[in-house]
Structure 1
Amino acid sequence: MTQRIALTARIVERFERRVQLSTHWLRVRPAPHAQGIEAFSLKVDAEPHFLNWLRDPYENHLARLDLPEPVFGLGLDLEIIAALEPANPFDFLTEPFAANYPFEYPQQLRKELVPYLRIDRPGPWLTDWLGGLDRAPKYMIEKLGDILAAVHDRVASVGAGRPGWVDIEALLQRGSGSPWETAWLLTLSLRGLGLAARFTSGYRVWLSTLPDVPDAVNAHAWSEVFLPGAGWIGLDPASELFTSEGYIPLASAPDPLRTVPVSGYHEACGSEVTESVVVRRLVPAPTASTLGEASWNQVRALGRRVEADLTAAGVKLTVASGLSFVSMEYPGAPEWTTSALGLHKRQIAEMLLPAIARHCGGGGVMHVG
C-alpha cells in the first residue's frame, strides 16, 4: 500500500563572528529520477540571499546560493513530500546480451559511459582488492548480489554517511567506514569488473511495521550500476540490499564530490554545524461527502418521516437470541467444526426454520442466508 510521508531536514552552521561566505552549491532537491516525489520546498535562513536553480552536467538539480553580506550563520530548511509505493527491486529486464556476467557494452554506449568506468590511479590496497574480485561468469542479478556481499563483508559500515572526499586506501586498511565510504568502494569495485557505476547521495527512509518501533530516516549514500535495457540499478553495501522505495536520491555522479549536498567555504573562523532529519507519515484527509447540504436536509427529513411511520404502526425495537447447535449425527464434519457452510447444515436449517416460526406464533418473515 502506498504511504505518503513528509521528510523534513535542517542544516545549520553558526560562526563566532560575522563572516563572508563564498557561493554555496546545494544538492538537496530530489533528483529527476527519484520516484513518487510530490512536492519540495527549501527555505534559506540568512538575509539577504539570492537563490537560483539549474541542472549540473549529470542532470541533478543544483541550486546556486549567493550571500553578498557577512552573516553570523546559515540555515537551510527543506521538506520533501513523497508517496512511497512498495517496489520490487528485481522488477527489471536487461538486454539479452547483458543477462549474464561478463558482457561488453556496445561501442556507442561505452563512449557515453566512459566517466562511469574510469578508475584513477588505484593505490596498492585498492589494486589488491580489485585483483581479488571474483570474475567468474554468472547470472547478472546473482553476480551483483555477490559483489554486494563481498564489499559488505570486507568493510563494516558504521556511523552516518558523512559527505566528502574518500580515502579508499585508508578505508581498506581500517576495514570499516561510513556508508558514504563503502558506497564509493562498491562503485569502484563494479568498475573494476567492467561495469559502469555511479555514486548516489540521498536519504534512506525506513517505515517500521511494529507499533513500538519508530520510523527512521538518515542521510545515506549508495551505488548504482548501469545495465543495458534496465538502466541504473541501485545497490546499498551498508545494508547489502538492492535499493527500493525507501531510497530518495538527491544527486548521482561519477565522483562522490559531485554529490555533496552542501558545498562552499567561508572566512577563517570557528564554526559549528548541526544537522537533523525527521520523517512522519501523512494520514489521508477525510473524503469529502458527495452530498450537498440541501441533499442532507432531505435525507434527515426522510429519516424523521420513516421514524414517525414506524412509531405510528407500533413497530418497536427488540432483542433476539441467536441459536447455535451442532449436529448429533455428524459432530466431527467440517461444516460443524471449521467450515461455515455445508450441505447437511443447510438441510437441517431449512427443516428447523419453519418449526421455529410455528412455535413462535407465525407472522414473522423467514430468511435463509
Structure 2
Amino acid sequence: MIFKIWHHTRYLYSHKVFLEPHYLRFKPLQKSYLTLNHFHLKMDPEPVGLSFASDAENNPITQIWFNDQIDSLDIDVQIEVSVTEDYDFFSFILDPYCKLGTREPVYSQTLSDFFKPYLKGEVSGKIKSYVDTIIRKNDGEIIPTLFSLTDHIYREWEHHLVIETSELDSENCFREKAGSCRDLSWMLIEMLRYTGLAARYVSGYTYNDELDDGHELHAWVEVYLPGAGWIGIDPSAGIFVHEKYIPVSASFNPANTMPVTGNFRGNANSKMETHVSIEQIDD
C-alpha cells in the first residue's frame, strides 16, 4: 500500500521580518512497517542555506536560514511512503514480564534513568483514582490495561478538531471530558507516566477512516514496553496504531514535535495557514 502526502504551510507577516534559523519537521520517522520512497521540500522564497540533521531524540529535522527580509514564507512538502499491509504490531512478548499497580518497577534502573523525561509528570488525585480503577479491572496486565484505558478515553471524552495550538492541560481535559487529538494524547501520556510507563507525544499523518476530515495531520501516543519498544496508541480513535499512521516526530515534550519552529525579528504580526491531503494507492 502506498500513501502520497501533500502538506502546504504558509506564513504571512504584516510587515517585512528577518527570520532566525528555522527548523522543519516533515520527514517521516523510520519504522519497520514503513518505507520512504520520496521526499521533496520546496520553499518560497528559497533559503540561502539548508541542512538535514537529527535532533536530540533522533527525529529528522531540516534547518533553513535566510539573509533577506521577507513578508511571507511558503513551505510545500511532497511525501510518498510504502507500508506493509496487515502488519502484525503485536508480534512481541513482554521481556521481562511485568504488571502495573505493584511495587515492582517496569524498567531496569538503567532504563529508568534514561527515560526520566518520559516518566516525569504529576496528575491529580481524581486522575490517579480513574487510572487505578482501570488497572485493577485488568489485574495489572499491561496490554489489557492499555486497551481499556485508550478505549475509555475514546468513548467517554468528546473529541473535537482544533486548528490553533493551545497550551496542553491534562487536568482541564479530564475535567471537561473533551479535547482535541493533542489534548487527549497529552492526558493519556500523563496517565501512563503515573503508572510507571514511559510515554511520548507523536505528531504525524494518518489515513484513518474512523476519524473525520481534518485529522490528516494528527497526534497520538507511544508507550515503551519492555521487549517490544515504542508502541503507538491513539486515544482519539480508541485503538493501537496501525500501518496507516505515519509518524514524523516524537518527543517527551509536545513542543518539540511542531512541524515548523523558529523566531523572527521585526515589528509584525504573523498568520499561519496549512493544508494536508493524503491519497491512498493500492499496490
The alignment's TM-score, normalised by the length of structure 1, stands at 0.68
Aligned to 2:256: 258
- Structure 1 letter corresponding to 2:192: L
Q: Which of 247, 250, 258 lines up with 1:249 in the alignment?
A: 247
The RMSD of aligned alpha carbons is 2.5
Query: Percent identical across equivalent pairs?
Result: 26
Aligned to 2:200: 198
Task: Note the C-alpha offset of 1:150.
Answer: 3.0
Task: Note the C-alpha offset of 1:167.
Answer: 2.5
1:111 paired with 2:110, answer no
Task: Note the C-alpha offset of 1:161.
Answer: 6.3
More strand by share: 2
Task: Note the C-alpha offset of 1:79.
Answer: 1.0
The answer as to whether partners of 2:14 and 2:269 remain within 8 angstroms in 1 is yes
Aligned to 1:80: 79
Alignment of 1:165-180 (within 5 A): 165-180=167-182
The secondary structure found in structure 1 opposite 2:96 is helix
Which ranges of 4 or more aligned residues in structure 1 deviate by more than 4 Å?
160-164, 214-217
Structure number, greater radius of gyration? 1
Aligned to 2:55: 56
Structure 1 residues 88-145: Cα deviation after superposition (integer angstroms, max 9, x where no partner): 45422123433644562122222222221111x54xxx44212431332243221111
Separation (CA, whole Å) in 2 of partners of 1:216 and 1:89: 27
Task: Note the C-alpha offset of 1:162.
Answer: 5.1
Alignment of 1:1-369 (within 5 A): 3-33=1-31, 35-88=34-87, 90-98=89-97, 100-102=99-101, 104-119=106-121, 122=123, 126-133=124-131, 134=133, 135-136=135-136, 137-160=139-162, 163=165, 165-206=167-208, 218-266=216-264, 267-282=266-281
Task: Note the C-alpha offset of 1:279.
Answer: 1.7
Separation (CA, whole Å) in 2 of partners of 1:182 and 1:259: 16
The answer as to whether partners of 2:16 and 2:268 remain within 8 angstroms in 1 is no
Aligned to 1:333: none
Which fold has the larger relative contact order, with Cα–Cα distance below 8 Å and residues 6 or more apart in sequence? Answer: 2
The answer as to whether partners of 2:189 and 2:200 remain within 8 angstroms in 1 is yes
The alignment's TM-score, normalised by the length of structure 2, stands at 0.87
More helix by share: 1
- Structure 2 letter corresponding to 1:189: M
The answer as to whether partners of 1:32 and 1:61 remain within 8 angstroms in 2 is no
Aligned to 1:363: none
Task: Note the C-alpha offset of 1:73.
Answer: 0.3
Aligned residues: 273
Q: Measured at CA, do residues 29 and 224 of structure 1 come closer, stay the same or move farther in structure 2, by a change above 3 Å?
A: same
